[in-house]
Amino acid sequence: MLVVQKYGGTSVGSLERIENVAKRVAKARDEGKDLVIVVSAMSGETNKLIEYAHHFSKTPSKREMDMLLSSGERVTAALLAIALNEMGYKTIALTGRQAGIKTDNAHTYARIESINTQRLRNEINDGNIVIVAGFQGINNDGEVTTLGRGGSDLSAVALAGALNADACEIYSDVDGIYTTDPRIEPKAKKLDFISYDEMLELSSLGAKVLQNRSVELAKKMGVKIIAKSSFSDGDGTVIADKGENMEEVLVSGVALDKNQARVSLRDVKDRPGIAAEIFNKLADENINIDMIIQNASENGTTNLGFTVPQSELERAKKVMDSFKEEFGSSDYDENVAKVSIVGVGMKSHSGVAAKAFEALAKNNINIEMISTSEIKVSMIIDEKFGELAVRVLHEAFGLGE
Q: Which stretch binds a copy of itself (CB under 8 A): 55-63, 122-130, 198-206, 248-256?
A: 55-63
Written as one letter, the residue type at 52 is: Y
Q: Which stretch binds a copy of itself (CB under 8 A): 85-93, 160-168, 196-204, 216-224?
A: 85-93
Q: Which stretch binds a copy of itself (CB under 8 A): 80-88, 271-279, 316-324, 358-366?
A: 80-88
- When the beta carbons of 97 and 258 are compared against a copy of itself, the nearer one is 97
Rounded to the nearest whole angstrom, what is the least distance from the CB of residue 97 to a copy of itself in the complex?
A: 8
> Does residue number 50 form part of the binding site for a copy of itself (CB under 8 A)?
no
Residue among 45, 47, 155 nearest 94 (CA) = 155
Phi and psi at residue 173, to the nearest 5°: -95, 5
Of the candidate residues 4, 26, 79, 162, the single one contacting a copy of itself (CB under 8 A)? 79
Gap between the terminal Cα atoms of the chain: 34
286 Rama class: left (phi>0) / alpha (psi -120 to 50) / beta: left
> Does residue number 102 form part of the binding site for a copy of itself (CB under 8 A)?
no
Rounded to the nearest whole angstrom, what is the least distance from the CB of residue 51 to a copy of itself in the complex?
A: 9
Q: Which stretch binds a copy of itself (CB under 8 A): 31-39, 49-57, 271-279, 327-335?
A: 49-57
Rounded to the nearest whole angstrom, what is the least distance from the CB of residue 157 to a copy of itself in the complex?
A: 23
Of the candidate residues 3, 65, 157, 389, the single one contacting a copy of itself (CB under 8 A)? 65
Rounded to the nearest whole angstrom, what is the least distance from the CB of residue 55 to a copy of itself in the complex?
A: 5
Task: Count Cβ atoms below 10 Å from residue 105 Cβ, excluding itself.
Answer: 14
Q: What is the DSSP letter of 227?
A: E
> Does residue number 266 form part of the binding site for a copy of itself (CB under 8 A)?
no
Rounded to the nearest whole angstrom, what is the least distance from the CB of residue 229 to a copy of itself in the complex?
A: 23
> Does residue number 55 form part of the binding site for a copy of itself (CB under 8 A)?
yes
The span from the CA of 37 to the CA of 258, in Å, is: 36
Rounded to the nearest whole angstrom, what is the least distance from the CB of residue 83 to a copy of itself in the complex?
A: 4
> Does residue number 85 form part of the binding site for a copy of itself (CB under 8 A)?
yes
Contact 196, 241 (CB under 8 A): yes
CA separation, residue 158 to residues 65, 166, 171, 241 (Å)? 23, 13, 16, 17
Q: Per DSSP, what are the bridge partners of residue 131?
A: 37, 93
Residue among 19, 82, 84, 75 nearest 230 (CA) = 19
> Does residue number 67 form part of the binding site for a copy of itself (CB under 8 A)?
yes
Of the candidate residues 52, 297, 363, 374, the single one contacting a copy of itself (CB under 8 A)? 52
Identify the helix (H) or strand (E) that includes residue 382: strand 376-382
Instruction: Provide the residue count of the chain.
Output: 401
The span from the CA of 231 to the CA of 47, in Å, is: 23
Contact 223, 199 (CB under 8 A): no
Residue among 21, 234, 187, 216 nearest 111 (CA) = 216
> Does residue number 274 form part of the binding site for a copy of itself (CB under 8 A)?
no
The span from the CA of 395 to the CA of 72, in Å, is: 44
Ranges within 107-166 binding a copy of itself (CB under 8 A): 142-144
Written as one letter, the residue type at 41 is: A
Number of residues that bind a copy of itself (CB under 8 A): 38
Contact 203, 262 (CB under 8 A): no
> Does residue number 190 form part of the binding site for a copy of itself (CB under 8 A)?
no
> Does residue number 75 form part of the binding site for a copy of itself (CB under 8 A)?
yes
Helices assigned H by DSSP within 169-254: 196-204, 212-221
Q: Which stretch binds a copy of itself (CB under 8 A): 47-55, 168-176, 239-247, 309-317?
A: 47-55
Of the candidate residues 25, 39, 92, 200, the single one contacting a copy of itself (CB under 8 A)? 92
- When the beta carbons of 146 and 180 are compared against a copy of itself, the nearer one is 146
Q: Which stretch binds a copy of itself (CB under 8 A): 1-9, 68-76, 156-164, 189-197?
A: 68-76
Ranges within 14-43 binding a copy of itself (CB under 8 A): 15, 18-19, 22
Estimate the crossing angle of helix 386-396 against helix 352-362, to 10 degrees. 130
Estimate the crossing angle of helix 15-30 against helix 62-86, to 10 degrees. 60
The residue ranges that bind a copy of itself (CB under 8 A) are: 15, 18-19, 22, 49, 52-53, 55-57, 60-61, 63-65, 67-68, 70-72, 74-75, 77-79, 81-83, 85-86, 92-93, 95, 97-98, 142-144
